[in-house]
């Protein structure tokens, strides 16, 4: 079928919204008619050429939600008409990682996905007979996409796709960091560094877990205002004294849980140092630049602080994204507050500009 899609033709150039060919889903694959897609930093990062593992041409986009149109042979878990959220982090339910409760890093299709192909090593996207690669296994800046069944979470049909799509990446990452990875305990003190989509999600996750004190730290007063809306009990503008202030205001000990959601290694270090002596847990969700390292004084660890990383919030997508979407349907997460702009597919480059200027949290493409 012919579809319209936003193609990264060349690094550093605006995306080209054009017509492509999309082949029918093969065994284990699903054709999805996309309804909405968030514009995320990872899309822009890849478009810039800064990601050494990036490739072009490809159709970007990975925060999609839409409706199942047709299914390939053997697909049982979704059927036409189902509302689905795309998962760049799939869940096969069979690999050693999927069978473990310790991790969400499914091993089933990683290699081909990283190369830009569907699990059988081929692409469904093409132009004039030349294959076009899939991005993060999703390629959702498009009217339709073909994805593996194991990379689609079926979510409640009453969810609005423009909200549901935010659970495909940043929001689930933040919520999951607090709920799954850190497993924040009721009554605790939490400090969240960064108030973008991920940090705000972590604030909401800490609130849902029953944290008593939730401090959100960011450079932007506007974003800190949004953190209040998600449940931050205090908001601080970041400065050189943030760590000292956390220690001082927690009786000299530090916070029970800290979260890093900036991608900056200097802030990661602050998050480690602001964690409590004895049992403080620092959860790192930000993605640092290639080659950067985290500088930590070992004594901080010996004295009982722990550091862990969190990919997609430790969320096992097919099982847990529906649960997170249910939280929004139950009125427990204010998703509307994250949507700052609604744009059409043709305006995708404008979506990147808005993000560059930190104008709003998320632009959502409506298809």
Which of the listed partners (Zn ion, ligand NAD, none) does 92 bind, with a CB threshold of 5 to 8 Å by partner kind?
A: Zn ion
Cα gap 287→311, rounded to integer Å: 9
Cα gap 95→339, rounded to integer Å: 35
Any catalytic annotation for residue 106? yes
Spatial CA neighbour of 256 closest among 231, 232, 275 = 275
For residues 37 to 66, the per-residue mask of contacts with ligand NAD, x marking binding by CB under 6 A and - elsewhere, is ----x-------------------------
Any catalytic annotation for residue 169? yes
Measured in degrees and rounded to the nearest 5, phi and psi for residue 31 equal -90, 125
Which of the listed partners (Zn ion, ligand NAD, none) does 283 bind, with a CB threshold of 5 to 8 Å by partner kind?
A: none
> Torsion-angle region of residue 136: left (phi > 0), alpha (psi -120 to 50) or beta?
left
Any catalytic annotation for residue 110? yes
For residue 158, give the 3-state DSSP assignment: coil
Q: Which residue is nearest to ligand NAD (CB)?
A: 196
Any catalytic annotation for residue 63? yes
The site that binds ligand NAD (CB under 6 A) totals a number of residues, namely: 28
User: Is 169 a residue that touches Zn ion (CB under 5 A)?
Assistant: yes
Return the number of the residue (25 or 170) whose C-beta is nearest Zn ion. 170
Any catalytic annotation for residue 62? yes
Residues 6+ apart with CB under 8 A from 231: 203, 204, 206, 207, 214
Spatial CA neighbour of 140 closest among 44, 41, 59 = 59
CA distances for 52 relative to 39, 48, 252, angstroms: 20, 10, 42
Beta partners for residue 153, in sequence order: 85
DSSP letter at 48? H
Per DSSP, the residues of 327-357 read: HHHTTSS--GGGEEEEE-GGGHHHHHHHHHT
- Which tokens sit at 112? 């081909």
For residues 137 to 176, the per-residue mask of contacts with ligand NAD, x marking binding by CB under 6 A and - elsewhere, is --------------------------------xx--x---
The correct pick among 15, 71, 106, 324 for binding Zn ion (CB under 5 A) is: 106
Region of 103-111, 179-187, 193-201, 218-226 interacting with Zn ion (CB under 5 A): 103-111
Spatial CA neighbour of 351 closest among 21, 41, 33, 13 = 41
Return the number of the residue (41 or 93) whose C-beta is nearest ligand NAD. 41
Which of the listed partners (Zn ion, ligand NAD, none) does 125 bind, with a CB threshold of 5 to 8 Å by partner kind?
A: none
User: Is 85 a residue that touches ligand NAD (CB under 6 A)?
Assistant: no
Which of the listed partners (Zn ion, ligand NAD, none) does 95 bind, with a CB threshold of 5 to 8 Å by partner kind?
A: Zn ion
Region of 106-114, 153-161, 260-268, 274-282 interacting with ligand NAD (CB under 6 A): 260-268
Interior/surface letters 41-53, b for 16+ CB within 10 angstroms, e for the rest: bbbbebbeeeeee
User: Is 287 a residue that touches Zn ion (CB under 5 A)?
Assistant: no
For residues 96 to 135, the per-residue mask of contacts with ligand NAD, x marking binding by CB under 6 A and - elsewhere, is ----------------------------------------
Q: Which residues bind Zn ion (CB under 5 A)?
A: 40, 42, 92, 95, 98, 106, 108, 169
Instruction: Report the catalytic residues.
Output: 40-42, 62-63, 92, 95, 98, 106, 110, 169, 362
Chain residues that interact with ligand NAD, rule: CB under 6 A? 41, 169-170, 173, 193-199, 217-220, 223, 238, 261-264, 267, 285-287, 310-312
């Amino acid at each position: 079928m012919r579809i319209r899609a936003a193609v990264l033709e060349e690094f550093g150039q605006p995306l080209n919204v054009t017509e492509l060919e999309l082949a029918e889903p093969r065994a284990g694959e699903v054709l999805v008619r996309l309804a909405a897609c968030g514009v995320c930093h990872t899309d822009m990062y890849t478009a810039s050429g800064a990601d050494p593992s990036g490739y072009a041409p490809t159709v970007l986009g990975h925060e999609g939600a839409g409706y199942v149109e047709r299914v390939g042979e053997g697909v049982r878990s979704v059927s036409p008409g189902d509302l689905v959220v795309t998962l760049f982090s799939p869940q096969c339910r069979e690999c050693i990682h999927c069978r473990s409760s310790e991790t969400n890093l499914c091993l089933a299709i990683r290699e081909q996905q990283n190369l830009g192909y569907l699990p059988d090593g081929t692409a469904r996207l093409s132009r004039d007979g030349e294959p076009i690669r899939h991005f993060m296994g999703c390629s959702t800046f498009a009217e339709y996409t073909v994805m593996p069944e194991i990379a689609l979470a079926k979510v409640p049909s009453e969810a609005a796709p423009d909200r549901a799509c935010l659970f495909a990446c940043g929001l689930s990452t933040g919520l999951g960091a607090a709920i799954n990875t850190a497993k924040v305990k009721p009554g605790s003190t939490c400090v969240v560094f960064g108030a973008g989509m991920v940090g705000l999600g972590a604030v909401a996750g800490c609130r849902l877990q029953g944290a008593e004190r939730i401090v959100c730290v960011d450079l932007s007063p506007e974003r800190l205002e949004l953190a209040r809306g998600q449940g931050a009990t205090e908001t601080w503008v970041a400065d050189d004294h943030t760590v000292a202030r956390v220690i001082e205001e927690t009786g000299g000990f530090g916070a029970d849980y800290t979260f890093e959601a900036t991608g900056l290694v200097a802030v990661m270090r602050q998050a480690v140092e602001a964690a409590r002596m004895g049992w403080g847990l620092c959860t790192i969700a930000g993605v640092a630049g290639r080659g950067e390292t985290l500088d930590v004084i070992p004594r901080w660890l010996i004295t009982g602080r722990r550091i862990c990383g969190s990919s997609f919030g430790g969320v096992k997508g097919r099982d847990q994204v529906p649960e997170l979407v249910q939280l929004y349907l139950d009125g427990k997460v204010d998703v509307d507050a994250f949507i700052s702009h609604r744009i059409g597919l043709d305006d995708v480059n404008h979506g990147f500009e808005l993000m560059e200027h930190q104008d709003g949290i998320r632009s959502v493409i409506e298809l």
